[in-house]
Amino acid sequence: MTQLSRREWLGATAAAALLPTLRAAEGKDYTLPPLPYAFDALEPHIDAKTMEIHHDHHHKAYVDNLNKALAGTDWLGKPIEDVLKEVKKLPEDKQQAVINNGGGHYNHSMFWQIMAKKSGKPSEEFLKAWGSNLDSLKKAVNDAGAKQFGSGWAWVVWVPQEKKLSVMSTANQDTPLPHGWFPLLGVDVWEHAYYLKYQNKRADYLNAWWNVVNWDAVQTRFKIAMKG
Ligand code: MN
């Protein structure tokens, strides 16, 4: 067995910390990952009450309902990314519940990780893969989020087939995973993510959201994605 270099080991540890749902616990229930900061850490851009309800109630409900949907099956506890990629192999009567609640668990686990009080900036490598500057990326994501009718997410994904970044949106808790695309960053445009502070002004929420993007976490996901 080759020993991991210290750098590789640190990288693997950082990746594991950033991707909590990757940890397989065969046959065990999924659990709600703790929020990696205080509810008020993202103030004034995202208010504490929204964070509390969003994490402790909305995300928890996705986890609970995912566990209910997979109870008694061999799929329970498998890495949620794999379950979502292979959702068509699940019993037909469970597929939509897993898309909704497994997607909700995956999306929110990522969402908490890619936000932080200090936002930093994207790497040059990341912007090169996008093909333009940060302003054009923000505009593309904000447009995708604003145009998503009803509830959903706006995403920056790594498209392995083209070795570049792309912007897209999905409805409800659907993920980019079944397309084979790796989500690097996603912004929740469900009303529960912003309504207390921004009411119907989704565009204001989207503009403010960029102040709390954790670019270090996005960069870590980018590196994992590029490794395939
Ligand atoms: Mn949400």
CATH number for position 94 = 1.10.287.990
167 within 8 A of 156, measured Cβ to Cβ:
yes
Q: 91 and 151, same structural domain?
A: no
Q: 128 and 109, same structural domain?
A: no
Q: 223 and 149, same structural domain?
A: yes
What is the residue range of 174's domain?
124-227
- Which is higher by pLDDT, 142 or 3? 142
**Percent of residues, the chain, with pLDDT higher than 90:** 85
User: Rounded to the nearest whole angstrom, what is the distance from the C-alpha of residue 94 to the centroid of ligand 1?
Assistant: 21
Return all residues near 62 (Cβ < 8 A) that are at least 6 apart: 100, 101, 102, 103, 104, 105, 108, 173
Residue 164: pLDDT band by 50, 70, 90 thresholds? very high
Q: 11 and 108, same structural domain?
A: yes
User: Rounded to the nearest whole angstrom, what is the distance from the C-alpha of residue 5 to the centroid of ligand 1?
Assistant: 38
Q: 169 and 201, same structural domain?
A: yes
DSSP string, the chain: -PPPPHHHHHHHHHHHHH-GGGS--TTSPP-PPPPSS-TTTTTTTS-HHHHHHIIIIIIHHHHHHHHHHHTTSTTTTS-HHHHHHTGGGS-HHHHHHHHHHHHHHHHHHHHHHTB-SS-----HHHHHHHTS-HHHHHHHHHHHHHHS-SSEEEEEEEETTTTEEEEEEEETT--SGGGT-EEEEEEE-SGGGTHHHHTT-HHHHHHHHGGGB-HHHHHHHHHHHHH-
CATH number for position 149 = 3.55.40.20
Q: How many separate domains does the chain show?
A: 2
User: Rounded to the nearest whole angstrom, what is the distance from the C-alpha of residue 193 to the centroid of ligand 1?
Assistant: 5
Which of these three, 59, 82, 113, is where a domain ends? 113
Answer whether residue 18 shows pLDDT above 80: no
pLDDT at position 19 = 52
111-152 tens-digit pLDDT: 999 999 988 899 999 999 999 999 999 999 999 999 999 999
Q: 109 and 12, same structural domain?
A: yes
User: Rounded to the nearest whole angstrom, what is the distance from the C-alpha of residue 122 to the centroid of ligand 1?
Assistant: 24
Q: 131 and 98, same structural domain?
A: no
Quote the pTM value: 0.90
46-98 tens-digit pLDDT: 999 999 999 999 999 999 999 999 999 999 989 999 999 999 999 999 999 99
pLDDT at position 77 = 87
Residue 12: pLDDT band by 50, 70, 90 thresholds? very low
Q: 109 and 53, same structural domain?
A: yes
Q: 11 and 107, same structural domain?
A: yes
